[in-house]
Amino acid sequence: MSGTTALSDAIAVERKRYVMAARQSDTETAWRALERAHILSQPMLGQHMHVHWLMLCYAVRLRDIREMLGQIARLALAPIGALAGRVPMGNTGRSNVSAFAPMPIPEDLRPLLAKKHDNSSFRR
């Protein structure tokens, strides 16, 4: 399985986890699933933008103005960062963290990202 396929599959799992948690009003689990999807999506701009869109939609649903504004900014910044090769790996993508700060990648996600990085010129 290619790095991109494995990552796409893992992102889909996290998106499903988000949907299930949001339906059950489990906000903590929903955000955690979106954060994990964000970490996994960073090497792929389209997926990355989609996760930020989901984060924005969830913030709207929760009426979280700070998160809405943060996601709007990230939707504008993500393409620029990708083009410049400056994506802060491990960053959870939420407005409660700097959009520019790399963060530790969860152990269980590292092999998926390492496989993608081995097959691309993606830089930290």
Torsion sign (Cα): 91, 95, 100, 101? negative
- Residues of the domain holding 104: 3-116
pLDDT 10s per residue in the chain (124 long)? 566 789 999 999 999 999 999 999 999 999 999 999 999 999 999 999 999 999 999 999 999 999 999 999 999 999 999 999 899 999 999 999 999 999 999 999 999 998 765 544 344 4
Task: State the residue for tokens 């998160």.
Answer: 67
Alpha-carbon distance of 18 to 5, in angstroms, equals 20
- Quote the pLDDT of residue 116: 64
- Quote the pLDDT of residue 2: 61
| Rounded alpha-carbon distances, angstroms, from residue 64 to 1, 71, 115 | 39, 11, 35
- Quote the pLDDT of residue 119: 42
Residue 122 resides in a domain: no
Residue 37 resides in a domain: yes
pTM: 0.90
Residue 112 resides in a domain: yes
Considering its fold, how many domains does the chain have in total?
Answer: 1
Do the Cβ atoms of 52 and 42 come closer than 8 Å? Answer: no
Neighbours of 7 (CB within 10 A): 22
Instruction: Pick the closest to residue 61 from 22, 11, 97 (CA basis).
Output: 22
Residue 10 resides in a domain: yes
